[in-house]
Structure formats: C-alpha cells, structure tokens
Structure 1
C-alpha cells in the first residue's frame, strides 16, 4: 500500500527552484531514505509534507487522502524530528515531551503515561533532569521522544544524528528500526550515506531539487556496475599530478587520502595497468592495493560528478 505519493511537486523561491517536478512513492511500513547534500531539497519536501510550506503546484497524498491545510486528521498521524533541536533548555525532559504531546490533544493521565513511555523508549528514564544538563546526544534523543509521544503512523526524521557521538548515533539507529518493526512508516533524510545503507528499505537520491535516482541500495549500485574502485597506498604522492591521472583512458575519478589514492576505473578499459605504469614512470612505489566495495557515495559521484558532502 502506498502511504505517501508525491507527483509533479514544484517549489521555487524567487527565480530559484527548490523542487522541480519531484516524484516520490513511499510504501506503508518501510523506512524510506532521502539522500542528498545540503540544498538538495530534502527539508523543503518535508516542510511541504508538514504543511509548514505551501507548494507551488503538484499533488501529495498521505494514506490515500489529498494533503491540504484542512486535513487535521492527516497531520495527527505525522510525527516530526527536526534537524534543529526543538527542546526547551529550562524544562525537564518530561515537561518537554508533555508539552509536545499536548499539541496533539493528549491530556491528563494518558499524556503523562505516553510521555514517560517515549522517554523510556529513547533511553532517558531520568525524566526530572533539566534539558540544559544534557549532552548533545541526549538532546537528540529527547528530540525524538517529543516527535513520537503521540505514536504517529508516519515519522519524519530530518538529519537526526548531526553532531553527536557514535554511541548516541547507534542508539538512534536502533530506536528507528524498533519503531519501524512496530508498524511506523519512516522517512529518513540525511547526507550520511552509511546511515541510509544501514536502515533504509528504499532510497531516493536528490540533487538540486530533483530525484536523480531511486530504488533499493542494491539497485542503485547497479547504476555503476561498469566501475571498479581501488585503494592504492604509495610511498610518496608529491610527484603525482591529478590532471595527468584523470587523463588516462578509463580513469573515472581520483581522490587522495594521505598516501592513499582512491581510484574509480571503467571495467571495460584496462585503466589499472596504465595507472600502475604512470606510478612506475614517476618512480613511485606501490605499498598496497585493495579492491573496494562500491557505496552510495560512489553512485552520487557517478551521477553528479561531485561528492555527496561537497
């Protein structure tokens, strides 16, 4: 069952298109990833879904109902975990969650019970602690508790792991998977491709307001099955000229990390031999060479010519 359907969505700010003919289809019960760099249009899409921003044109259906400002029943089914922390520093964890729960008409005993349940779910059982005493990771988890207190059918998370420690990130990833197993449909936006690969069923890669590719991570990687990627460690890179390397037939892209060279090579062209010959002619020794697994970062680079985090 299609839970979210977006067709022909446009949004511009002045002469600049934030979204241009955007089409997305999200199944009920899946974790759907929106992957793209800052400025790709992910947050604009979310704000339109939440009726915080008006579209220029296009159609949006949520649970087979046309989305408009009068659909209070649809909005009650949505939960949002924004990129910017939406918590009050001088309130306790429980007070924060109860405040946001009250916005969804939760009251009295039900409000407190669901608020405590949400805090327990994200691992913040000390409900009476002031938010200003929390670490960045704890605030991120509180942000999630505020977004799920009313038990939404559709949860939208916009960059929920920005600037936090690995332990909190792992906790958030596990929490999202648990919510999904309990029946919650999830839209997850990020520019961290490793997170999308870890938890998402289907993925849409966005760039400059458009979906440039979509499907499972396996299907997306099929786009670049004509590439091989190697990591080559050398003794010295000072004599290497990037323009000379990329001029070699079959060399698709080159990246330097210390004394390591990451190179993408067309499979049908014997570019690796030419690459090694180039290094030999420069009297550069190869210390190690490894074949690397292709990632969604490679897909994005192949489609746009840019790194995801440029």
Structure 2
C-alpha cells in the first residue's frame, strides 16, 4: 500500500500561515499521531489530506482521497432525524445486513438504542455510531480527530484493541489531547511546530506527555 506523503506544503488563511515548506510521510501499517495545541493546524491538515481543503502550494500524495478513506471529526455530521441503524446504512451505502451491523455494533451500542433517532444521542453515542461505520468499511486510510471525546471507559478500552488490530496494511492518523490513551498504541509521532511537521524520533524516551512539554511547555 502506498504511503501518504506531504511535500513542501504551504497553507495560509488570510494573514495567518499554517504550514510553510512542511514535509511528512505517514506509513502503511503504522498508527501516526499528530501533536500540537489547538490552533496549530491539526484539523486543517486532516482536511487537506481528505481533500476538503486545497493546499496553496506544495504537493500531497494521497491515492485514497475520495475513495477507501474515512475521516471522523469531533463534530459529527450524522442525520439527527434518522435512527442509528439508518445512519449506518446510509454511510455504508447499504452494503451490510442488520445482522452484519449488529455483529460490529454490539461492542458499542445495544440494538434497542440503534433504533432510536440520533437527535437524542449523547456525544459519546454519536461517536460510537461513527466508529461502527468505520469498522464496517475497513478503509485503507483512517483519520480521526479527538476520537476519545465522549467515550466511556469500556469503549476506550475496546477502541484501543480495534485500532491496534486494524493498522495492518492500513494508514491510521490520530490527533487529540488524551495522551494516556494514545501512549500504548501509536507508532510514529509528528509535532506541528513553527509551520512544519516534525517527526519526533525519540518520543518514546519522553512519552507522549513529555514530548508535548518538550515542544510546548511555557518558557520562563
């Protein structure tokens, strides 16, 4: 499977530069983690990689744009007036039977809840619907922004296991601030700093939290 590559990326909004001559390679078979405070371009980068935004200059080599990829944002875009089941069917293009959906969904939500409209779901329940869709689709490229928000302890434990198993021959790109969740499952860590994408090769020496403090702790 082809890696996703970023070459000499430049992106600016009005007067604010987000990326300048940024380079990175996200590898197949690895879980990659994007690290930065809010406002440093993590979500922008995911939107660039998914084709929702266009780079000003440079090149993004992603053969999976618009096909065989899945992006999960913290703000979900589900149909509130439809049931959990109906949302799953729509987003998976009606490829799966109810039995096949239930086989995956059982780890996240009971069948009785899936029959209810999304509008009454909590944030965590809505995110679980998106995770059910993701598991059913088994995309080659997965990008997840703040995936842990709203999930309970058991859902987080299950998600760790599923992500670790899913990375084989796939590219998984994660971003978030729940560092303890990501510590055990990520392979590569990338820091967004000074308009660049820096692969921190020694992140395991510092840990995820320590790496964040290395780059972003206040300087006296």
TM-score (norm 1): 0.62
TM superposition shift of 1:162: 1.7
Secondary structure of the structure 2 residue equivalent to 1:84: coil
More strand by proportion, 1 or 2? 1
Of 113, 119, 124, 2:109 maps to: 124
Alignment of 1:1-310 (within 5 A): 2-62=2-62, 65=63, 74-102=65-93, 107=94, 110-112=95-97, 116=101, 119-120=104-105, 122-126=107-111, 127-181=114-168, 183-207=169-193, 209-215=195-201, 219-222=202-205, 294-306=206-218
What root-mean-square deviation, in Å, do the aligned CA atoms of Structure 1 and Structure 2 show? 2.6
Secondary structure of the structure 2 residue equivalent to 1:301: helix
Closer, same or farther: CA 25–118 of 1 in aligned 2, 3 Å = farther
Closer, same or farther: CA 13–166 of 1 in aligned 2, 3 Å = same
Q: Is the contact between residue 108 and residue 155 of structure 2 (CA under 8 Å) also seen in structure 1?
A: no
How many aligned residue pairs are there? 217
Q: Is the contact between residue 33 and residue 174 of structure 2 (CA under 8 Å) also seen in structure 1?
A: yes
TM superposition shift of 1:155: 0.8
Instruction: State the distance in 1 between where 2:215 and 2:72 align.
Output: 29
TM superposition shift of 1:81: 1.1
Which structure 1 segments of 5+ residues have no match? 66-72, 223-293
TM superposition shift of 1:156: 0.8
Which structure is richer in relative contact order (CA contacts within 8 A, separation 6 or more)? 2
TM-score (norm 2): 0.84
Secondary structure of the structure 2 residue equivalent to 1:155: strand
Q: Is the contact between residue 32 and residue 203 of structure 1 (CA under 8 Å) also seen in structure 2?
A: yes
Alpha-carbon displacement from aligned partner over 1:259-288 (angstroms, at most 9, x marks no partner):
xxxxxxxxxxxxxxxxxxxxxxxxxxxxxx
Q: Which range moved further: 169-178 or 40-49?
A: 169-178
Secondary structure of the structure 2 residue equivalent to 1:139: helix
Alpha-carbon displacement from aligned partner over 1:18-70 (angstroms, at most 9, x marks no partner):
122221111111111112211121111110111100101111112xx4xxxxx
Instruction: State the distance in 2 between where 1:40 and 1:114 align.
Output: 43
Q: Is the contact between residue 119 and residue 125 of structure 1 (CA under 8 Å) also seen in structure 2?
A: no
Alpha-carbon displacement from aligned partner over 1:225-252 (angstroms, at most 9, x marks no partner):
xxxxxxxxxxxxxxxxxxxxxxxxxxxx
Q: Is the contact between residue 35 and residue 205 of structure 1 (CA under 8 Å) also seen in structure 2?
A: yes
TM superposition shift of 1:17: 0.8
Q: Is the contact between residue 49 and residue 65 of structure 2 (CA under 8 Å) also seen in structure 1?
A: no
Instruction: State the distance in 1 between where 2:47 and 2:96 align.
Output: 26
Secondary structure of the structure 1 residue equivalent to 2:129: helix
TM superposition shift of 1:98: 1.3
Instruction: State the distance in 2 between where 1:140 and 1:175 align.
Output: 15
